[in-house]
Structures are given as C-alpha cells and as structure tokens.
Amino acid sequence: MTAAILVAMVAGVEVLGWWSYARTRLVATATWLVIVLVAAGVSDAVGAWGAVALGVGSAGWLVLRWRTDAGVAMGALVIAAGLLLLADGGPDGAAAVIAGLGAAVLLSRTANEVVRDVLERAKALPEDDEPMPEPAGSHLRGGRIIGPLERWLIVGLALVGAEGVIVGLMAAKGIGRFPEISGDRGRGSTAEEFLVGSLVSWALAGAAALMIAVLRP
C-alpha cells in the first residue's frame, strides 16, 4: 500500500502543478501532501515507517523536480516504489486501484516530459564535437497525444495478458513512423529519437503495469 500511496501523492502534486497558479502552487501542494499523510495515518493504511517513507519520497520528488528534471525525478520514483513494493507489496485490491489511478496520471503529461528530457540528454554533444545543423522541417510529431494513449494501452493490454497485441502495437508504431525515419537517412537523428523515445515510453508503461500486477489480488 505504501508504494501505491506514494505514486498517488506524486500524481496529485503533478496535477496541482498543471492547474494551479504559481503563487498558490506551494500552498496547494503542501496541503495535498498533509491531507494524504493524515488520511493514511488515520486509516492505518501504512505504519510509522511507511509514513516516514511517504514523507521522504514526496519531498524527494519535489526537490528533484525543482532542481533537476522530470527524467531524474521519475527514475528516483520508480526505484523508491520498487523498494517499497519489495518491502510490503503483497496483493491488495485497494492499493492496486490507487496505484492504477496514480500511474494513469503520471503516464500522461509527466511521462511526456520524461521522454523529452531523456531525448534532450541524448542529443547533447561532447564539448569537442561541433554541433551539426538541424535539418529542415521538424522531427517526430504527435507524441504529446499519442504517447499517453500508447502507454495507457500498453498497461491495459499487459494486465489482461495480451502480450502479442502489445508486440503488434509496437510494430505498427514503427511502420507508421517509417516515412519520417526513412526521410532522414543522411543524419539518422530521427531514427535515434524514435528509438530512444519509444524505449523510455515503453519502460514507463512496463513499470506501471508491473506495479499494478504485483498489487492486484
């Protein structure tokens, strides 16, 4: 349950960041975290160490999101949630629902930011390399909408055991992007962007599906 609540807390923080104004965001975020911690304590959903883990985990997310980027923060969250699952991740229907709702939020806009941050890091050139000019036109488009839909679909298919459909979905994505990739034969940057972005996106969906599957009775 602790891992599921941590994911839900972080998801709530992200939603508040999307919709609240800058001057009220800090107050709204602090209020949300306190409410969740108090509710978890009153309902005895987590023990004393669980409450400490939730406090440290949510604070760590805020610090990493503020000081680094979404990719680093998400990586830390995946590790923390995995460790909490190992500690007390037995089957729990309520925890599975909470984790599913939190994961659905994080696999949308936040996951898009994670993919973008990873791509930016991948594009970074060593200091002794000269930057190459960007090709005319734009790179891959549509990921802002297609990405969340793809991740949600992969999680749903994984939970019902439709691995073959997932493989077909991945293949169809490659076929659909083939015209854009083949048009960049000289540089290969579009192919690299597609591969890196897809792998990161699929990894996030796989982590969410695994967490829900572990918690599901």
Please tell me the predicted confidence (pLDDT) of residue 157.
92
Cβ atoms 54, 46 nearer than 8 A: yes
| Residue 7 burial by Cβ neighbours in a 10 Å radius (0-12, 13-18, 19+) | buried
Count CB neighbours of 18 within 10 A: 11
Please tell me the predicted confidence (pLDDT) of residue 138.
44
pTM beyond 0.85: the answer is no
Measured between alpha carbons, how far is residue 22 from residues 13, 16, 17, 79 in Å?
A: 13, 10, 8, 29
Q: Is the pLDDT score of 147 beyond 80?
A: yes
The alpha carbon of 104 is separated from its chain's Cα centroid by a whole number of angstroms, namely 9
Please tell me the predicted confidence (pLDDT) of residue 169.
84
pLDDT in tens, 78-98: 999 999 888 876 788 888 999
pLDDT in tens, 49-67: 777 888 888 888 888 888 8
Q: Could you give the CA distance from residue 16 to residue 56 in angstroms, rounded to a whole number? A: 19
Cβ atoms 204, 151 nearer than 8 A: yes
Q: Give the start-to-end residue ranges of the domains of the chain.
A: 2-122+141-215
Measured between alpha carbons, how far is residue 102 from residues 20, 39, 131 in Å?
A: 18, 16, 40
Tokens of residue 4, six digits: 């599921």
Tokens of residue 19, six digits: 């919709």
